[in-house]
């Protein structure tokens, strides 16, 4: 089954609303499939965090498979230190993960963005 990460711009209270809705849905029924959600407080924060360089990094990792940070920097033709910083941020957010061999990989088949106007 494809793994999808849902990226949203939403207030913290929205997460509680989603939890409550899932809780009510699960009462008396089988639990719904888990939903992976990454929320940002604002669109500028999302765009700063998921910059074009970081998006490129995700695409390259998805295309090439697990790589060391050094090999990834070479593939991207970017400075190792900057790639290392981006990898650390993306790991913290859960957009990428480390394998047992200390390689980094993208665990998602898709990243779906939801941007609501109000």
Q: Where are the domains of the chain?
A: 4-114
Segment 93-114 shows an average pLDDT of 91
The full 3-state SS of the chain, as one line of letters, equals CCCEEEEEECCHHHHHHHHHHHHHHHCCCCCCCCCEEEEECCHHHHHHHCCHHHHHHHHHHHHHCCECHHHHHHHHCCCHHHHHHHHHHHHHHCCCEECCCCCEECCCCEEEEECCCC
Stated pTM of the model: 0.75
Query: How confident is the model at residue 96, as a pLDDT?
Result: 95
Separation CA 22–CA 16 (nearest Å): 10
CATH number, domain 4-114: 1.10.10.10
Q: In terms of pLDDT, which residue wins out, 52 or 112?
A: 52
pLDDT band at residue 15 using 50, 70 and 90 as cut-offs: low
- Residue-wise pLDDT for 16-38, tens only, equals 555 655 656 666 666 556 667 77
* Structure-token pair, residue 86: 């981006």
Separation CA 94–CA 103 (nearest Å): 15
Query: How confident is the model at residue 9, as a pLDDT?
Result: 82
Label residue 36 exposed, middle or buried (CB < 10 Å: 0-12, 13-18, 19+).
Answer: middle
| Mean pLDDT (the chain, rounded) | 83
Q: Which of 93, 107, 104, 106 is nearest to 70 (CA)?
A: 104
pLDDT band at residue 7 using 50, 70 and 90 as cut-offs: confident
Query: How confident is the model at residue 37, as a pLDDT?
Result: 75
């Amino acid at each position: 089954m494809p793994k999808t990460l849902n990226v949203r711009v939403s207030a913290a209270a929205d997460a509680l609303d989603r939890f409550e809705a899932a809780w009510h849905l699960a009462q008396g029924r089988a639990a719904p499939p888990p939903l992976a959600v990454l929320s940002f407080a604002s669109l500028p924060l999302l765009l700063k965090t998921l910059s074009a360089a970081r998006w490129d990094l995700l695409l390259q990792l998805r295309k090439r498979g697990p790589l060391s940070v050094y090999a990834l920097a070479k593939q991207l033709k970017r400075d190792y230190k900057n790639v290392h910083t981006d990898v650390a941020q993306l790991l913290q957010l859960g957009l990428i993960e480390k394998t047992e061999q200390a390689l980094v990989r993208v665990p998602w088949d898709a990243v779906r963005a939801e941007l609501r106007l109000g």
